[in-house]
Chain A
Amino acid sequence: MIYQAFVIVFSKKRYRILGIISMLIFLALYLFSLPATYTGGRIGLVSLRFLNPVLIIFSILFAVLLSINVSFTIFSYHNKGGKTATAGGFLASVITPFLCCTPILPVVFSFLGGFIPLLSASTGNAVQAFIALHEFWLFIAAAVLLIFALYQNSKALTAHQSCAITKGGQND
């Protein structure tokens, strides 16, 4: 199904170009943002010093999946088809590296602690530590979400295309 959708979308030159350009943009985004866990949330040239094979592989994987998803979504939009579930995977993959060792969570939790007395600062650290120790699996989960989004997009897209063939007698 995914392959079928892939062929439908990328047989058109403009979607091939869109896919390649968005892939490059997302790749740059991930290469700079995934090392944030080592840089205390800093993003910039300093991030590149902390790239390791695992982060590079995840950056490529996320960028490829996301760019295909974006192309499918835009194709579906133009052809009045399908929904997308890409946001979850995208957010999970981008936000995860920022949740550990950056001041984001301590600040959020201390802010929440002001409203919810049960929520102590150590709750925030427990979450940070959990993320730090399970970052790899969170990345896997983000990839799974992106693959699921891809499956959903492909399903909607191929269903719409077959409807178009049945109704119109020709494919767009």
Chain B
Amino acid sequence: MIKADFIRDAALPDSRLRKYLINLSVIIFVGAIFIIGKISAAQTISAPDAPFKVGAKTYNLSQFRGRKIMLWLFSTWCPSCQVGLNALSDKQQQLKKSRLIIIALENYKNGGYQGPTIREFVGKYGKSVAKSPNWFFGNASAELARIYNPKRYPDIYFLIDEKGIIRNINDAPAATIDKIINFAAGKNLSK
């Protein structure tokens, strides 16, 4: 009996120690995940400069530094691009109010397949924004395509902040319109 009590008393600190160790490792594990998450979220990619054409005029992305930009590379034959332009046109008031610049560029050589012209594309799906000052419709240069869309996705966009940091890379603007609105409004992109 005495021996049993002794064993129990001696075991108590050990089991407490074990509990502390378990709690500590759980805290360290959760903390590590939280820190890793923060670090990866804070990882920044600077948007490389590249030229593009709007009509006959050539622009560089760096000219828009200081403004929030949505750089969108689309192909005129792509259905998600068509509904994407429609969705963005519907949200034009909000986008304009938050001073988002939308640089919508036809993919280099229209993504390798001849489709409707950019004029037809805009006329059909985004007539209301065709002449808006916050919209730039143009053509991606080979250099811009090589940098921003080397895999030639028919539909891809980049949300670039005032400092020229790429905050989000995504596709199908109609399906991800909330992300674009949140970015324009300066809200958290994860929402």
Contacts and interface: CB of A to CB of B under 8 A. Distances in A.
A122 interface: yes
A125 B111 contact: yes
Interface string A65-105: 00000000000000000000000000000000000110100
A102 to B, nearest CB: 8
Among A38, A103, A121, A126, find the residue whose CB has the most chain B CB atoms closer than 10 A: A38
B79 interface: yes
B181 interface: no
Contact of B112 (A39, A40, A122): A122
B6 interface: no
Contacts, number: 84
Contact of B153 (A37, A42, A49, A103): A103
A46 interface: yes
- Chain B interface, DSSP helix/strand/loop, else mixed: loop
Interface residues of B, number: 22
B152 A125 contact: yes
A132 interface: yes
Q: Interface extent on A, as a size class?
A: 20 to 34
B183 to A, nearest CB: 17
A71 to B, nearest CB: 33
A133 B174 CA distance: 19
A46 B80 CA distance: 13
Contacts of B151: 103, 106-107, 110, 121
A129 B172 contact: no
A39 to B, nearest CB: 4
6 contacts: A38-B79, A40-B80, A42-B172, A46-B175, A100-B78, A101-B172
- Listed from nearest, the 4 A-B pairs whose CB atoms lie closest are A40-B172, A122-B112, A129-B113, A101-B80
